[in-house]
């Protein structure tokens, strides 16, 4: 009898352990890990080298920044000029793709990446593996959307793999109007008033904007002072998605994991993924 009870207790313990382990694994993998400008901590940001490395690091998706060139090509770069990341200073909107292609976008990071060229959106889409995602951050205005629609229509990716993000509300409106089959998240940061000490915008203000522009979700700045459980509850009540940028500390990753963030954008995909895996 004692042996029988012991076996039953052991079996119950193993079942509970399995359930607990499954729950932990589910929680750890629930958050998509999005590589900020690719694996930008190690490779030159917004280059094919950085995006390819992000896949090797186990990222669920990549985030890249995009402008429209003078000749109507969508190119991958964060700044309005090439000054910071190339060997010559050109204004992207005033330059052709051919002119931008002549620049070296890798040497500033390290000699290993010397000669890295600026990629087009089409080239970036072509290296997104099956089941992975790309967050396309539009850095200019809604004038890019017709060409964006054209590029996406010729891509091998399905609509669920491509997401548009932007700070410009007009971009979100244009995307939902012209490319309704893909999701669009509005980006927002926060500022604190020196007079009142309060953070702006408030969740109430954000909700009005999200509803007005028809966004599918909010991609918010990592700010634990304002983004809390009530903040997220309000978003979820409106059936909106909740994404966060830029998460590079394990403690921050775990905080937003507890809040149930849909994705965490980070410069350190592998490390942040590991920080979410529970023992």
Among candidates 78, 37, 81, 67, which has minimal Cα distance to 144? Answer: 67
Nearest-10 crossing angle of helices 203-213, 229-237: 30
What is the pLDDT, as a whole number, of residue 9? 52
* Average confidence (pLDDT) over 163-184: 98
What count of other Cβ atoms lies within 10 Å of the Cβ of residue 79?
A: 15
Among candidates 48, 185, 57, 46, which has minimal Cα distance to 128? Answer: 48
Token digits of residue 257: 């994991």
- DSSP state for residue 83 in the 8-state scheme: T
20 has pLDDT over 50 = no
Tell me, rounded to whole angstroms, the distance of Cα 77 from its chain centroid. Answer: 15
What count of other Cβ atoms lies within 10 Å of the Cβ of residue 167?
A: 14
Among candidates 59, 29, 33, 184, which has minimal Cα distance to 128? Answer: 59
* Average confidence (pLDDT) over 59-76: 98
Instruction: Give the confidence band of 240 by pLDDT, cuts at 50, 70, 90.
Output: very high
- Contact status, residue 140 vs residue 161, Cβ threshold 8 Å: no
* Average confidence (pLDDT) over 162-187: 98
C-alpha span between 116 and 126 (Å, rounded): 17
C-alpha span between 31 and 257 (Å, rounded): 7
pLDDT greater at residue 125 or residue 1 = 125
Among candidates 249, 243, 237, which has minimal Cα distance to 276? Answer: 249
In the chain, the largest separation of any two C-alpha atoms, in whole Å, equals: 85
Distant-in-sequence, close-in-space partners of 151: CB < 8 Å, separation ≥ 6 = 74, 121, 122, 125
Among candidates 84, 51, 78, which has minimal Cα distance to 65? Answer: 78
* Average confidence (pLDDT) over 26-48: 87
> What would the pLDDT profile of 246-275 be if each residue is shown by its tens digit?
999 999 999 999 999 999 999 999 999 999
Token digits of residue 85: 């990341």
* Average confidence (pLDDT) over 230-236: 98
What is the pLDDT, as a whole number, of residue 12? 45
What is the pLDDT, as a whole number, of residue 30? 76
What count of other Cβ atoms lies within 10 Å of the Cβ of residue 46?
A: 29
- Contact status, residue 58 vs residue 270, Cβ threshold 8 Å: yes
What is the pLDDT, as a whole number, of residue 181? 98
Instruction: Give the confidence band of 120 by pLDDT, cuts at 50, 70, 90.
Output: very high
Lowest mean pLDDT among 28-32, 33-37, 219-223: 28-32
User: How much of the chain exceeds pLDDT 90, in percent?
Assistant: 88
Residue 124 DSSP SS3:
helix
Q: Which residues does residue 220 pair with via DSSP β-bridges, in sequence order?
A: 188, 244
* Average confidence (pLDDT) over 11-25: 40
What is the pLDDT, as a whole number, of residue 23? 36
- Contact status, residue 279 vs residue 28, Cβ threshold 8 Å: no
What is the pLDDT, as a whole number, of residue 277? 64
114 has pLDDT over 90 = yes
C-alpha span between 133 and 270 (Å, rounded): 16
pTM reported for the whole predicted model: 0.90
What is the pLDDT, as a whole number, of residue 61? 98
Percent helix, strand and coil across the chain, each to the nearest 5: 40, 20, 40
5 has pLDDT over 60 = no
pLDDT greater at residue 143 or residue 27 = 143
4 has pLDDT over 80 = no
What is the pLDDT, as a whole number, of residue 231? 98
Token digits of residue 267: 């410069």
What count of other Cβ atoms lies within 10 Å of the Cβ of residue 160?
A: 11
């Amino acid at each position: 009898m004692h042996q029988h009870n012991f076996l039953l207790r052991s079996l119950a313990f193993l079942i509970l352990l399995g359930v607990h382990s499954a729950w932990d694994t589910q929680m750890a993998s629930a958050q998509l890990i999005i590589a900020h400008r690719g694996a930008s901590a190690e490779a030159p940001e917004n280059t094919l080298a950085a995006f390819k490395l992000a896949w090797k690091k186990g990222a669920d998706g990549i985030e890249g920044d995009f402008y429209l060139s003078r000749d109507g090509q969508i190119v991958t770069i964060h700044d309005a000029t090439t000054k910071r990341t190339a060997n010559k200073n050109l204004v992207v909107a005033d330059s052709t793709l051919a002119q931008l292609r002549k620049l070296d976008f890798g040497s500033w990071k390290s000699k290993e990446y010397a000669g890295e060229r600026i990629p087009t959106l089409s080239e970036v889409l072509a290296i997104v593996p099956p089941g992975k995602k790309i967050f396309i951050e539009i850095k200019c205005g809604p004038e890019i959307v017709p060409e964006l629609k054209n590029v996406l229509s010729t891509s091998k990716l399905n609509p669920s793999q491509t997401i548009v993000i932007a700070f410009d509300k007009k971009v979100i409106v244009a995307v939902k109007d012209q490319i309704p089959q893909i999701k669009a998240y509005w980006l927002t940061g926060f500022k604190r008033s020196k007079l009142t000490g309060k953070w702006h915008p408030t969740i109430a203000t954000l909700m009005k904007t999200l509803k007005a522009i028809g966004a599918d979700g909010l991609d918010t700045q990592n700010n634990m002072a304002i983004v809390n459980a009530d903040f997220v509850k309000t978003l979820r009540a409106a059936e909106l998605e909740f994404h966060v940028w830029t998460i590079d500390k394990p403690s921050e990753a775990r905080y937003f994991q507890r809040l149930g963030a849909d994705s965490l954008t980070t410069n350190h995909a592998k490390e942040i993924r590991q920080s979410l895996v529970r023992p």
